[in-house]
Structure formats: structure tokens, C-alpha cells
Structure 1
Amino acid sequence: MRPTLIARALVAVAALGLGLAQPAAAEPHGSGDPALVRTDKGAVRGTVTQDYREFQGIPYAAPPVGPLRWASPRPTQPWRDTRAATRPGNGCAQIELHPYLHSESEDCLYLNVTTPRRAEHRRLPVLVFFHGGGFSAGSSHETLPTELAARGDVVAVTVNYRLGALGFLAHPALDGGEARQRSGNFGLEDQQEALRWVRRNAAAFGGDPGNVTISGQWSGGKAVCVQMTSPSAAGLFHKVITMSNPCTLHTVPRGDGSPDPEPLGLPRSRAAAERHGLALAADVGCADPATAAACLRAVPAMDLLKKAPFLTFTPVYGGGGVLPVDPLTAFETGRFHKVPVLLGTNRDAYRTSDAYLELWGYPKLTPEGYVLRVRNFVGAANAERVLARYPLRDYQNIPSLAWSALATDALLSRPQSDTAALFARHVPTYAYEFADRDAPWYGDLALPSFPTGAYQDAELQYLFTTVYFAGRAFTPAQRALSNTMIDYVSRFAHRGDPNGRGLPHWPSANRDAALAQVLEPGAVRPGNFRVGHSYDFWRSIDY
């Protein structure tokens, strides 16, 4: 069994501009055949069901292979005959990691479009989803938005983008030439190219190119955040949804609990990224600066990825390019695209970490181990205060539950609340907390020794059909919560406000930044997120 990259990030805690010129837009098809759509590069034939239409494996850019490895995305070639769009395209190359689908292909810049059954000649909102996986794993067809499109009356697009070292390698030898905006952010450039494809082609599928929401979960959520600060993304989207990765989240502890100056899974400075790139180049035998570019392009993709440290090759800021400044600085100074925001986290996110440790064969966390973790994380001077705030007796005397509550509050809930407050000063903002403590666990993994609660990833199955939760079933109350969440998301995509007839009222963070909509079966309601996650307490702790 191999770990998820998301779990690796959580276990680290537990162990403590391109131009905007547009080609001619695709025209809505006039054949009367709902399975046939003509894009700007040629016609595609998808699958039609009673409730939705699905078009899979549509190329949005040329294959980034050979000399185009570490190149900015290039236009795909048109096709003459109707292209079958009934199967997904290749996922982008990645090592084999549960639960993500393994791929060794660099020919991977494909997207999928799902619409309601009757979408022709309409102008529905478009919701684009960027998958998670720590910028190192995942693919567009692992999260299928069929119910979201059909029930929500939206055009949903899921996107592949280059991953790991193939998507985020920064190296001086790769700057310039084929890299139009410096090296290091090819995966982000892919996302922007997909959004340009949406702008040109949305109308052909019944979508409105003037009403595009970008969304993502975990690293996909972080991608949404950094796109908000990228000058070359201007005008490509009109609303954002970021799940399980607050935009002001900036650090996670190292294995010994101390803060990491180069945290895994988060954006890196160009100086740090180039150190990582030079080290990887040397490790694969491409240390000579004069020949490094050609040498690196000759290394087989999987040889390269197997030597690339997990969660290290992530978006790069500074020195010009796609992210000219640190996204945190951009947010703090108001230099980001001002669009409505919906954001949230999961109540028990960090239970995933100890669950995976048990599944890998590590012993259960002991009371003594819990105390040691807390001391490593907050330091000896703060440990007694923190242990008094999170005593084992309040968590069924299960150390993993106490640690999860502590880590979730300190490392996700605090930046979640800070992010909501920051955005609320500038744009319409809505915050949520996913709180189903009986959420089904991963489909092919045994349960750990403790309740998994509203763990990291759990919310995905309420919005998408996913490979991660195959075989799991909802209770009637959970199905009702899923419908409510789809209704909220789709109404936000329609008009930048999740509220609507028949839904529990969701107050905006502009009214009160401490409020978040609690998403719990049978009890969807506003709640004071800061009180529920000891926000003021963690503001008083220097860690």
C-alpha cells in the first residue's frame, strides 16, 4: 500500500504574461445531435445519458514531449475527422501512489467537459476543477462532475496539468526559449492554457465564457489561490472556490515539529526552487550547465520523477514569470484578482495522518507520544498551555484524536479564518466547514483504530463521483447533504452567492469573518468558526 501525497503532507505534521489574443471562438453545433460539438480545433463526439453529456480526452494544448518538455504550452493541431471523446486522455506522468491513478505519459494535456443533458445553445456558468495530489499526482478523470453538472445546471470542466518535476522544475538552463515566462511554473501555465481553451470553446458546449469559476481541492485549491495572484491569469475567471487549502496557509512543521522554511506542498521562492532543480539535475547526471537542458530532456520521465523528492516541486514565485511575487505578499497587499470567493476546510482534517501511519504499520500514538509531539511542535515553553487546552480526556482518551484537533486548529483553521477575513475586506466571501463526522472512508482502505470523522479528502465524494471512494454508500441524510453542497456550489457558480430558495441561509464572511457555514447531515447552519477552533488561543501561541 502506498500513501497519498496529501497524507504525506499531513504525516509530516503528525511525525513532527502570455498575451490574451483570442483565436476565433468555436460555434455552437447545429447538427441537432447532442453528442456532437464543434470546437475551435475540430468536432468531438461524446456520450449522452438521460441526465448529462460527457466529452472526455479533448486536447487543449500540444503534447509537451521531446523539445517541448519544459516548454510553455503550445497550440494543439486541428483535426479533420470527428474525434471520439468517450474516453479520458492520459493522465500526466507520476509515480505510483495510492489512491491516484498511475501514468507514465507526458502526452497528457487533456480536459473533460460535462454538461446537463440539455445544454445546447444555452449560456450556463462554467466550473473548472483542478485536481489535488500535492502538485505531484492526480488526474482529471479521478473526480467526475456528472451530478454537479446535471443537478447544478453548470458546464463542468476537469483538467490535467503537468506534475512534479515535469510541471514545476526551475533551472537556469530552462529559462527563456520555449519557456515564455521562465521555468518552474509549467503546470500553472497549463491551467491557464486550459482556461483560454474554455474561453474559446465554452459556448459550443452551452457554457458562458464570461462566467467561469475556477475551483480545486488541496493542491488544486492552492493552484486556485496562486492563479488569483498571477498577472497572466487576468480575465480568465470570474469566481473562485478553494477547498482544504486556505490561501494564507504558508507553513507546515518538519518531521521534528519545527517550522519548515521550505514547506512541502506549498509555493517556493525562486532561489529555493533553483536549488531543488540544480540538485535534481545533478542527481540524474545533468550537472553541466552548458548541456543541462538537452541532458534533462533526454532523461526518461519516470527516472526523473523517481528521483524528485515528494511534494517539493511546486509553484515558484519571484524573479518575474507567472508568479512575480510571493502569493502571500500579493494577498496581504491587495494585489490579486478581485472576484467572489468561496472557501473552506474539514473539521477533522488531520485525522488522516495518524490513520495512514497505522495503515503503514506504525504503532498507535501513545499518550507519551502525544506529549512529545506537542512539545516538538509548540516548544517546551508553550507545551503545558497547549496540553491543557487539548487534554486527552476531552478526546475519548485517544491521543490521535487530540492531536488531530490540535493540528487542525493550528495549521488549517487559523489560516482559514485569516484568509476569510482578508478576502472579506475586498470581495464577496463565503466560508464553510465540512463537518460530517461519519463521512465514508476511502473505498479500498481499512479503517484505523479511531473514528476518522470529517477527514481530509472526505468532502470530495459529496460533490463528485470519484475513484477514491468506490463502493462506499451514503445514508439518506448524507445524500441530502451532498445535494445541498452541490446546490450551494452551483448557485455560487451561477451568480457569486451560494444562497437560494430551499437552502439554509449562508451568511457571508463580509458580515462577520468568524462565521462559516457548517456542512453536516441534517444540521446545515452558520457557526462561529473561530470559537469552534480556538482561534484566539492559537493567535496567542508563538510556534
Structure 2
Amino acid sequence: MVRTDAGLVEGRLGTDTRMFQGIPYAAPPVGRLRWASPQPAVSWSGVRAATEPGNRCAQAAGLIDQQSSSEDCLYLNVTTPLHSSARNLPVMVWIHGNGFINGAGSLYDAQRLASTGKVIVVSFNYRLGVFGFLDHPALDHGLSKHLSGNFGLEDQQAALRWVRRNAAAFGGDPANVTLFGESAGGTSVCAHLVAPGSVGLFQKAILQSAQCTGRKWSPGPATWFPLPRAERERHGLDVAAKVGCSDLRTAAACLRAEPVEELVKWSDYGLGSGPAVGAGILPVSPEQAFATGHFKRVPIMQGTTRDEHRLFTAAIEAVTGQTTTDADYRQQIRTLFTPTEAARVLARYPADRFQSPGEALSAVISDWAWGCTVLDRDRTLDRHVPTYAYEFDDDEAPWFSTLKKPNFPTGAFHGSELQYLFDDEQLPGPATPAQHRLADTMVRYWAQFAYTGDPNGHGAAPWPRFGTGQHVQSLQPGKTEPADLAQEHQCGFWKTIGG
């Protein structure tokens, strides 16, 4: 049992861990609190059972995600080592990804990370899709302390404030918090490095496959990039009109009266869902803040997987039921680039050099929009703060058991590293002895970074700061060694492409 600031909670014993699940960190954002800034959770008397995760936030079913129609979803989970001689352990706060439209904190079982790394891990749910990121002038101010459009980020800040108030009760150090996240979760970490309201809520940051600078690409028409408020607002007005709430005078009440099942359909419409930049929670973009040095000066660890885009190509093929053809490949390249540039890209990445046109397309976007982009961000960040760069490169990383494999090797696909840090509900986990050793190495790197802001220690292979040598640590089964991302992802070529 642990006493939080709202009341006693009783968790359960895991494998060398204590687990507390389904703890409310804010009031349910339902009824009039739909599209309101998060409000304090109501205290309770007696002992609250904290043995099951809270509801997942409202979301449509995805390729690998369950549907949920619950708006009462602002709950978090705490995993601690069962035995530790240390007090005031580092706290690692995990932000889940999945495009700001799907997912839940409870998908990531953190027992291995907590017990092996001797850290406390907190994961949580935050409002997704239209519930978390609808930007509409009728929702500005009032119940929103800020402008609308970033309610999901406000939830994340509320969870971090809960950690600051309650970490000590679980044996954690509220002054040693590492914020980490992957994909949309990594983009969220970018936002908190910039957001004024996040100052003082964390002391270190880990960005895993974060898209918040550089090439504004994402699967389909949607994007989880931070986008200008005017663009997000136009999209919000369009969504409101689509559900019959076009009158600005009555739009707020009209939208709040819409059933969950109707609204959730629009989370991935048009621009999709993601942060709005300009005043409010996020006054400037991460890209601008990083370039000018106006961001929270904390140690940073960041990286990508080597074959990021193979997941998205496979997912699009699974949704459409269509395998990427040579003609599809050429058409998509011509959509992304000018005619002259497209011809150069196709000459540099001819489909016949790959096992399939889908793999060729994946290579182009993995290099152009991921590998070279993160390398540029490494250079930018390292000018201001200690930056440790990595690339996850297990070319035989286990694939989803519920998603059909494409007609090309899936390699180190987007999100494949998660099963090496967590027992991920959506991925089968390491299979070979070498993969298990890599998982152990990664857990120790991540945990050591949480302790000191430097991943080195505990006998793992040295990991130099990115620095002037532009060192990127390649994480592979059987070895960790420097990788030359610029050569590997053909960044010299991509510097000549405008896109």
C-alpha cells in the first residue's frame, strides 16, 4: 500500500517488482470537461485497488489496437523494483506513441526495465485524436486554461505534476525524472522540451523515433508533426462542420453533445491529430526552438531504427490489400519530389536493387525523412546540451504476431526497439540469446542515463557523446559499435534534394 496525495492505493507484486495500475491523475474529462484543461482528481477514502489498468482513451480500432469509447481514461501506472538498497530512485516517465490516435500506457509492461535498471517507471494514458488535439476557436479559453488544440499535451503535463507530488511515496526522486517516449511519444518529448508549462517537470529526455523537425512526412495524409495553429484550426473548423457544428456561437455545446462514437471517426481525418504550434501550450515549434537554443537544457538521448519506414509500407499494404508495385513506387516518389528530383531519387534507389518496390520506397523514406533528419537534429542539439545518439539495428527484430509480414524483410522497423525495453503487448519480444543480451544492454543504457544523464557504466560498451566526432551508437545483437549514419542513409545525396 502507498499513500498518494489523493488517497491510499494498493498494488500487487509482479516479477521482482511492485505494480500499481489505474491510478487517476486527473478528473475524468467527460461532459462539460470534454475539451477542458485537466482538472484535479477527486480524493477518496479507504484503500483504492490499483491492480488493473484504467480505461484506454477513446480511439477507433487500428491494425494492432483495440477500440475504446471511454473518455474516463486519465489514469497512470507505476512500476517499482521490489527490493532496492537505494532510496530516491530515478523516475522514468513513459509517453506512448501511435500517432496521437491510438495506444495506452498499459501496453508497455515495465517490470524488466524497473527491476533490472533499478528505476521507477511511470506510464499513463492521455487524450487522443479529436479529444486530445481538436483545435477550434469555440474551445479556446473558458474551460481551457489556454488555447485549444493541445489538451493531450496538457494531460501529459498533469501526469508529470502528479509524479512530482507523489514520486517520493513510491521510493522515487521527484528531482530526477527522465521523460521518454517513442514515435508520437517522442514528438511529445520534443514539445515538452519547448513548452513553458513543462519547465521543472523533468531533468533528462529520451527521444525515440521522434518526428518533430525536418521532413514533414507521415503515413497517409495524416501527420503527428507539430503544425502551425492556423493549419490545425482550419482542420478543426472542418471537422466541426462535418459533424454538423459549424455555427461558431453554438459550436462548443454542439461538439460536447456529440456521441463519442461519432467524434472518434474524425481523429485520423485530413491532417490527423497532433500538437498545434503558436501561443498557448506550445508557443514555438521544436524545430525553431532547437535551432535557436531556446529549449530546456537537459541531457538528451535520441535515435531511430535503421529501417523505420518498412512498418508503414507494410501497414499501408495491409490496410489496402495492395502490394506496392513498381508503378506505385514511381508515383509516390513523384508525389514527394519535384520532377527533376524524383528522377534523381529513382536513379539513386532503383527498384530492381531491392527485393520489392515496397522495400525501395521504404529505403527512400527511411533515409530521407528519418535517418538524415535525426542526424541533423543530433548536430543541432549537441551544440547546446550533452547528446547521446543511437540507431537500433537488429535486422531480424521480431515482427507483430497479428500483422501480416510484407514481401520484403521487415528489418529494424519503426517501434521494433520497444520490445527490447518493455514486455510490449503488441510485439513478441526478443527470441535469440543475442537479442536477449541486446535487450539487457539497452535496459542498462536507458537506466544509467536516467541515473546520471550519461548512458555509460555497468560494464556496457562505451557510448561517447555525439560531439564533434558525430558518434552514433549502433545497437545490434552481439555488438554495439559506432555507425556512420551519414553514409548509411546517403545524407550527402539528400542534402542536394529539396523535397
TM-score, L = length of structure 2: 0.96
Cα contact 1:370–1:399 (8 A) shared by 2: yes
Q: What do residues 5-33 of structure 1 show as CA deviations (whole Å, max 9, x unaligned)? A: xxxxxxxxxxxxxxxxxxxxxxxxxxxxx
Partner SS, residue 228 of structure 1:
helix
Q: 1:404 aligns with which of 333, 347, 362?
A: 362
Cα contact 2:80–2:170 (8 A) shared by 1: yes
> How far did 1:315 drift?
0.9
Q: 1:191 aligns with which of 156, 175, 182?
A: 156
Cα contact 1:121–1:203 (8 A) shared by 2: no
Q: 1:367 aligns with which of 326, 332, 338?
A: 326
1:269 aligns with: 228
Partner SS, residue 21 of structure 2:
strand
> How far did 1:159 drift?
1.0
Map 1:391-470 to 2 at 5 A: 391-396=350-355, 398-470=356-428
Judged with a 3 Å threshold, the aligned counterparts in structure 2 of structure 1 residues 254 and 56 are, in CA distance, closer, same or farther, namely closer
| C-alpha distance in 1 between matches for 2:130 and 2:421 | 30
| C-alpha distance in 1 between matches for 2:14 and 2:327 | 56
> How far did 1:393 drift?
4.7
Superposition misfits of 4+ residues, deviation over 4 angstroms: none
Letter in 1 for 2:303: G
| C-alpha distance in 1 between matches for 2:155 and 2:447 | 25
Q: 1:245 aligns with which of 194, 198, 210?
A: 210
Q: What do residues 57-88 of structure 1 show as CA deviations (whole Å, max 9, x unaligned)? A: 00001111111111111111111111100000
Task: Tell me whether 155-164 or 300-309 shows the greater mean CA deviation.
Answer: 300-309
Gaps of 5+ in 2: none
Judged with a 3 Å threshold, the aligned counterparts in structure 2 of structure 1 residues 293 and 253 are, in CA distance, closer, same or farther, namely closer
Q: 1:520 aligns with which of 462, 476, 481?
A: 476
Partner SS, residue 235 of structure 1:
coil
2:196 aligns with: 231
Letter in 2 for 1:460: L
2:7 aligns with: 42
> How far did 1:253 drift?
7.1
Cα contact 1:120–1:206 (8 A) shared by 2: no
1:167 aligns with: 132
Judged with a 3 Å threshold, the aligned counterparts in structure 2 of structure 1 residues 371 and 281 are, in CA distance, closer, same or farther, namely closer
Cα contact 2:5–2:165 (8 A) shared by 1: yes
> How far did 1:388 drift?
3.1
1:478 aligns with 2:438: no
Map 1:220-369 to 2 at 5 A: 220-252=185-217, 264-310=223-269, 312-318=272-278, 320-360=279-319, 362-369=321-328
| C-alpha distance in 2 between matches for 1:455 and 1:237 | 29
Q: What do residues 135-182 of structure 1 show as CA deviations (whole Å, max 9, x unaligned)? A: 111111011111001101100000111111111111111111110012
Partner SS, residue 72 of structure 1:
coil
Cα contact 1:142–1:467 (8 A) shared by 2: yes
| C-alpha distance in 2 between matches for 1:353 and 1:346 | 13
Partner SS, residue 401 of structure 2:
coil
1:539 aligns with 2:491: no
1:82 aligns with 2:39: no
Cα contact 1:246–1:344 (8 A) shared by 2: no
Partner SS, residue 491 of structure 1:
helix
Judged with a 3 Å threshold, the aligned counterparts in structure 2 of structure 1 residues 250 and 232 are, in CA distance, closer, same or farther, namely farther
| C-alpha distance in 1 between matches for 2:4 and 2:219 | 47
Cα contact 2:2–2:9 (8 A) shared by 1: yes
1:494 aligns with: 451
Cα contact 2:58–2:69 (8 A) shared by 1: yes
1:31 aligns with: none
TM-score, L = length of structure 1: 0.88
| C-alpha distance in 2 between matches for 1:429 and 1:342 | 6
Partner SS, residue 360 of structure 1:
helix
1:153 aligns with 2:118: yes
Partner SS, residue 479 of structure 2:
coil
Cα contact 2:215–2:368 (8 A) shared by 1: no
| C-alpha distance in 2 between matches for 1:306 and 1:361 | 18
Letter in 1 for 2:407: S
> How far did 1:276 drift?
1.4
> How far did 1:313 drift?
2.5
> How far did 1:186 drift?
0.8
Judged with a 3 Å threshold, the aligned counterparts in structure 2 of structure 1 residues 492 and 105 are, in CA distance, closer, same or farther, namely same
Cα contact 2:430–2:439 (8 A) shared by 1: no
Task: Tell me whether 242-251 or 208-217 shows the greater mean CA deviation.
Answer: 242-251
Gaps of 5+ in 1: 1-35
How many residues are matched? 498
Q: 1:71 aligns with which of 10, 32, 36?
A: 36
2:22 aligns with: 57
| C-alpha distance in 1 between matches for 2:262 and 2:320 | 28
Cα contact 1:126–1:209 (8 A) shared by 2: yes
Letter in 1 for 2:247: D
| C-alpha distance in 1 between matches for 2:52 and 2:141 | 36
> How far did 1:119 drift?
4.8
| C-alpha distance in 2 between matches for 1:473 and 1:239 | 27
Letter in 2 for 1:81: G
> How far did 1:324 drift?
1.2
Task: Tell me whether 268-277 or 135-144 shows the greater mean CA deviation.
Answer: 268-277
Task: Tell me whether 485-494 or 379-388 shows the greater mean CA deviation.
Answer: 379-388
> How far did 1:50 drift?
4.5
